[in-house]
Amino acid sequence: MEPLDHSRAPVLEALTAYHGSGQLPFTPPGHKQGRGADPRVRAVVGEEVFRADLLAVSGLDDRRSTGGVLARAQELMADAVGAEHTFFSTCGSSLSVKAAMLSAAGPHEKLIVGRDAHKSVVSGLILSGVRPVWVEPRWDPELRLAHPPSPAAFEAALAEHPDARGALVTSPTPYGTCTDLTAIAEICHARDRPLIVDEAWGAHLPFHPDLPTWAMDAGADVCVTSVHKMGSGLEQGSVFHLQGGLIAPEVLKAREDLLGTTSPSVLIYAVLDGWRRQMVEHGRALYDGALALAARTRERIASIDGMRPHGREDFCGPGLAADLDPLQIIIDITALGTTGYRAADWIREHHAVNLHLADHRRISAQLTHADDRDTVETLLHALSDVAEHASWLRPAPTVEVPDPDGMRLEQVMLPRDAFFSRAERVDVEEAAGRISAEMLTPYPPGIPAALPGERLTAELLRYLRGGVEAGMVVPDAADPGVRTVRVVAGS
């Protein structure tokens, strides 16, 4: 077969052709190339945003999509990352991961899922009625942080539940740590079960050999990536990839169609398409630069009093993670005597620098190929400054983080049944022992601490309440202050 021409960008080219041929829409979107948009809106977001916002069908392509614009762009993306099929999504990995799950299991069927899954996976369980078989992440008791589950944990779960339809693992985690995907894929395939990898944080992994192993190379069946997270995608730009024979492409497509929008954003498609070309042509060099910059940045952060950037020595090894994405710089600031919440807020207020994760003892900075010496200098200056002003941020409330036993709740009802059951709000003091009817998710990173159908414990509720007092955000709770909790009536 002729090699594909990666200098082409079908969506971008079709967009240029649309403008070049003077196409006139009597279709949505109603702003009609921006002409109807309020000039004050255009002044802020720009004319080009509106010009690139048009219908995918009877707009970018003709009524029957005879130009194959999207199909060609997806084919190029699949080729770029070594997948057999690629699907673009304009609804984030929140949608892609649901489509992937539902292509492996249906209502009442079992799916093996790492319990450190993102809330979108839990939403998928709620919507579908799939029965989760939870696999425990690897908890580091000293750092009070979880890494993705081990292959042995998936092996044990599959042995105990041979009727499970497949497995889903999150790797890298938002903390950048990875499991041994090759081993998990082999375990699943030995039983003819597909492995789905939520690789929302790993869109860049295919493009440099020194980054952790990419799910398709590891033999996963489906993997989901958020190109907007680590790549150059616009927010909501996600792609998912498929290979092997355990999940049929038409099944995956139908699941996506079930959940997806009928009005996909051509703007998001165009940027996904352009990102693929950028990565094929320049990815290696861009990540050479980004990785070198990350290494230097880590060294400089380590020299700031009170800050410890976690590296492989802390996160990887027996019983811990198998690998680490060095672009996610997770910094332990315990020695500063304050919380990550306070430090992150102070840095934004005083330096206009926005950090990524913040928890009771850590802050994090995500570097990408877009960073350079200047952005990093600004970051380092902000970090040095917060370290010098740490006394201003003390004393900080302490957050009691339970050990894994206290953190883990028993799943006593299906997530779907609990979520849709008759529910009531009770004071947090009275919620222990009751079954949660809602997700309680510290954000970021968005991993539910409690989910519908789990029996709440006093220890976990104390952690969430204390966390909120200290600055944790739990946006999906009916009461984000977690003074009351929505529980299953009569539970």
Ligand X SMILES: Cc1ncc(COP(=O)(O)O)c(C=O)c1O
Q: Which is nearer to ligand X, 154 or 175 (CB)?
A: 175
Q: Which is nearer to ligand X, 227 or 247 (CB)?
A: 227
CB 252 within 8 A of CB 87: yes
Q: Which of 216, 210, 223 is nearest to 290 (CA)?
A: 210
Q: Which is nearer to ligand X, 366 or 491 (CB)?
A: 366
Q: Which is nearer to ligand X, 118 or 465 (CB)?
A: 118
Nearest-angstrom CA–CA distance, 169 and 217: 15
Q: Which is nearer to ligand X, 224 or 393 (CB)?
A: 224
CB 224 within 8 A of CB 93: yes
Q: Which is nearer to ligand X, 327 or 431 (CB)?
A: 327
Nearest-angstrom CA–CA distance, 18 and 66: 15
| Adjacency order of strands within the sheet including 328-332 | 308-309, 328-332, 362-366
Cα 460 to its chain centre, rounded Å, is 24
**Following DSSP, what letter does each residue of 378-433 receive, concatenated?**
HHHHHHHHHHHTGGGG-SPPP-----HHHH--EE-S-HHHHHTS-EEEEEGGG-TT
Nearest-angstrom CA–CA distance, 292 and 298: 10
CB of 446 to ligand X, least distance (A): 5
Burial of 40 (0-12, 13-18, 19+ CB in 10 A): exposed
Peptide bond into 444 cis (omega under 30): yes
CB 342 within 8 A of CB 471: yes
Q: Which of 172, 181, 227, 122 is nearest to 446 (CA)?
A: 122
Q: Which is nearer to ligand X, 53 or 199 (CB)?
A: 199
CB of 431 to ligand X, least distance (A): 26
CB of 271 to ligand X, least distance (A): 14
Q: Is 72 left (phi over 0), alpha (psi -120 to 50) or beta?
A: alpha
Q: Rg of the chain's alpha carbons, rounded to an integer? A: 23
What is residue 340's three-state secondary structure? helix
Q: Which is nearer to ligand X, 72 or 204 (CB)?
A: 204
By CB under 6 A, name the binding residues for ligand X: 92-94, 97, 118, 120, 170, 174, 198, 200, 226, 238, 445-446
CB of 88 to ligand X, least distance (A): 13
CB of 229 to ligand X, least distance (A): 7
CB of 26 to ligand X, least distance (A): 33
CB of 46 to ligand X, least distance (A): 23
Measured N-to-C along each axis, helices 266-302 and 373-388 cross at an angle, to the nearest 10 degrees, of 50
Phi, psi dihedral angles at 92 (to 5 degrees): 70, 170
CB of 55 to ligand X, least distance (A): 23
CB of 117 to ligand X, least distance (A): 7
The most distant pair of C-alpha atoms in the chain lies apart, rounded to whole Å, by 67
CB of 445 to ligand X, least distance (A): 6
Q: Give the type of residue at 94.
A: S
Q: Give the type of residue at 287.
A: Y
Q: Which is nearer to ligand X, 170 or 411 (CB)?
A: 170
CB of 234 to ligand X, least distance (A): 11
Phi, psi dihedral angles at 461 (to 5 degrees): -65, -35
Q: Which is nearer to ligand X, 113 or 331 (CB)?
A: 113
| Residue nearest to ligand X as judged by C-beta position | 92
CB of 474 to ligand X, least distance (A): 15
Q: Which is nearer to ligand X, 92 or 283 (CB)?
A: 92
Q: Which is nearer to ligand X, 117 or 266 (CB)?
A: 117
Q: Which of 488, 441, 431, 446 is nearest to 464 (CA)?
A: 441
Q: Which of 219, 120, 110 is nearest to 167 (CA)?
A: 110
